[in-house]
Amino acid sequence: MEQIQKSSLTALTLGAIGVVYGDIGTSPLYAFKEVFASAHVPINEANILGVLSLFFWTLTIIVSLKYVALIMRADNQGEGGLMSLLALASQAVKDSPRANQVLLITGVFGVALFFGDGVITPAISVLSAVEGLEIVTPEAKPYVVPISLVVLAMLFLMQRRGTADIGKLFGPIMVVWFLVIGYFGLMSVLENPAVLAAINPVHALRFALENHGLAFLTLGAVFLCVTGAEALYADMGHFGKTPIQLAWFYMIMPTLMLNYFGQGALVLADPAAAENPFFLLFPDWALLPMVILATAATVIASQALISGAFSATKQTIQLGFLPRMSIMHTSTTDTGQIYVPAVNWTLFGGVVLAVTLFGSSTALAAAYGISVSLVMVITTLMTYFVIRHGWGYPLWMCLPATALFLTVDVGFFISNSLKFFQGGWFPIAMAIALFVMLATWKEGRRLLRMAVRTHGMDLQTFLESVFAHPPTRVEGTAVFLTAEAETVPNSILHNLKHNKVLHAQNLFVTVRSHEVPWVDMSERIEAQSLGNDCWKVFLNYGFKDDPDVPSGLALLSGKGCDINPMTTSYFLSRDRVVPTVGSGMVPWREKLFAQMHLNASSAADFLNLPSNSVVELGSKIEI
């Protein structure tokens, strides 16, 4: 048993290296270079040691302390990520509606920023890898953008085929990547071991004090070394805490720091190497293989983020912030492996726009940090509510820890914000556009439910009137899907009006999503008899569950309500939203919601209903 556990831990750790650390693991391609790229920071020993010290302590405070030691403890039934943290924080302040609302808005904006990151990461990662060709031969410069676009196009095209088989290669390739960059970094450090003095935080403090505003401006570039740190928390549900922690302390951080220190040692010996210190670490014979390995590593980093965007989309739909979308499962064994065509091609369009608009990793670096640093600020704020109100930790313990991390996060965010007009506007503009859509869908759904309740009939009263003069009953079971459990679904009204019959057994089913990743099967279904073989049924799902109404209703067997799938029909109301002048949203948001509602994918597909047993009946609802 112990051997099996060790083997499992090894496999999970290898998987974590391949998936979790792809983004932060490819940061050495551009992070150190960007500090000196603008030529504002003079290249001398004091500044190089100061910058290296900033890198070391930034990784230590943000990744080792904040994420690995603290935030990874805030798991939601083993799941991590911004949506899980939002659910935990929301539950922690559920007795305070105003705080809950503020947290909800803040968390949803953080999710919108995450999707913006999903555009920038593939663009800057692949561009920075392919730019290594310029070191091999300067004549390659005009081809960097076209080659990058081809690599990215291939990456997005392969998404529909799933990543189960390719994913098995992620771990070994990234292990090779980390060992190689660590080894050549070590060789450079051994040639100039004086750079190891940068571990002393005094060098970072001296750099900050002697350079004042310049040091603050530099923080935006230094921050690039921790982009991807969110993945430690987001992927916790896939690998568990221990493998992620082991991978970080035993391989990732040591090899990253060896490489950063190696780049510093190289620039200390040859200031001209600041042009591209990562690739210049390697001998001429290794340059082309390293460009290929770096491209593979950046594709893996991008793949992990794209997969994360698919998962985040599914969770966001389940929590009611996005309309239903077509979701394809790419694995018969792993339900977490999904493909969302709409998200895939939207991301690809954004990536192509970013690559062509900015044209280089240096130009994209200005756009990169602002969204990620703001996500980290939001994460810190939400974590405070979890540890203070959810876990009940004393205020004297929560405030200093939050203040420390918030000071660091806000400092990086303000520094990155100085680059707003140099490219930082790009991810913020995308995030604001997406946030408007998320907020509009959530508010529109609320108005829609309110309209249904206002103009609808009470279900119990309706059934009493129907059975006072019962219509003809026909064999079989009718399942009426409804979002409002107490209100008569339009579908049964249309069925009675046009067909003038009622099935022998009638179920009024409401599918509910909860702010937990998973709902246990023992809590999946709740049923209440309404008499006359009519039942009110609730099906409960977490935001990572796949809704499956037929499977859920099968749990009614033996409870006085047996269902034969062959004689069961599912009735859906296909509502058409009509915007009207009134107390709802402003006209353009109501029109946006109506269009989103119209374009939502079929509820039958989303709820896994058998296509040959579904009856959709349309109606108009004014909001």
Q: Are 396 and 464 in the same domain?
A: no
Residue that finishes a domain, picked among 392, 413, 442: 442
Residue that finishes a domain, picked among 399, 414, 442: 442
**Is the separation of the CB atoms in 326 and 340 below 8 Å?**
yes
**Over residues 301-313, mean pLDDT:** 83
Report how many domains make up the chain.
2
Asked if residue 181 belongs to a domain, the reply is yes
CA distances from 362 to 49, 154, 268, 328 (A): 22, 23, 21, 36
Asked if residue 448 belongs to a domain, the reply is no
Q: What is the pLDDT of residue 240?
A: 80
Q: Are 369 and 509 in the same domain?
A: no
The pair of three-digit structure tokens given for residue 557, joined into one six-digit string: 């067997």
- pLDDT value at 76 more than 80: no
- pLDDT value at 367 more than 90: no
Provide the residue range defining the domain that includes 291. 2-442
Q: What is the pLDDT of residue 331?
A: 63
Range in 166-175, 349-358, 466-475, 542-551 the model is least confident about: 166-175
Asked if residue 115 belongs to a domain, the reply is yes
Q: What is the pLDDT of residue 6?
A: 45
pLDDT band, residue 36 (cuts 50/70/90): confident
Q: What is the pLDDT of residue 83?
A: 78
Residue that finishes a domain, picked among 417, 442, 467: 442
Q: Specify the CATH number for the domain of residue 222.
A: 1.20.1740.10
| Cα gap 90→236, rounded to integer Å | 20
pLDDT band, residue 480 (cuts 50/70/90): very high
Which residue has better confidence, 560 or 197?
Answer: 197
Q: What are phi and psi of 609, to 5 degrees?
A: -85, 145
Top mean-pLDDT range of 3-7, 325-329, 374-378: 374-378
Q: Are 102 and 212 in the same domain?
A: yes
Q: Are 481 and 536 in the same domain?
A: yes
**Over residues 378-397, mean pLDDT:** 88
Asked if residue 450 belongs to a domain, the reply is no
Nearest to residue 31, comparing CAs of 8, 63, 12, 59? Answer: 59
Asked if residue 451 belongs to a domain, the reply is no
Q: What is the pLDDT of residue 99?
A: 84
Q: Are 160 and 25 in the same domain?
A: yes
- pLDDT value at 205 more than 80: yes
Q: Are 436 and 531 in the same domain?
A: no
Partnered with residue 339 across adjacent β-strands are: 328
Q: What is the pLDDT of residue 262?
A: 96
Report angle CA 437, 439, 445 to the nearest 5 degrees: 100
Q: Are 465 and 402 in the same domain?
A: no
Q: Are 229 and 156 in the same domain?
A: yes
Prediction pTM value: 0.84
Q: What are phi and psi of 482, to 5 degrees?
A: -145, 140
pLDDT band, residue 32 (cuts 50/70/90): very high
Burial annotation 77-110 (CB, 10 A radius, 16+ → b, else e): eebbbbbbbbbbbbbbbeeeeebbeebbeebbbb
Range in 275-284, 493-502, 588-597 the model is least confident about: 493-502
pLDDT tens digit string along 213-261?
777 888 888 998 998 888 788 777 777 888 889 999 999 999 999 999 9
Q: Are 461 and 419 in the same domain?
A: no
Q: Are 437 and 461 in the same domain?
A: no
| Cα gap 106→85, rounded to integer Å | 12
Determine the length of the chain: 623
What is the β-pairing status of strands 472-481 and 501-514? parallel
Q: What is the pLDDT of residue 183?
A: 96
Give me the sign of the Cα torsion angle 520, 522, 524, 526. negative
Asked if residue 452 belongs to a domain, the reply is no
Q: Are 303 and 417 in the same domain?
A: yes
pLDDT band, residue 493 (cuts 50/70/90): confident
Q: Calculate the average pLDDT of the chain.
A: 86
Asked if residue 29 belongs to a domain, the reply is yes
Q: Are 438 and 467 in the same domain?
A: no
CA distances from 14 to 221, 232, 333 (A): 29, 14, 20
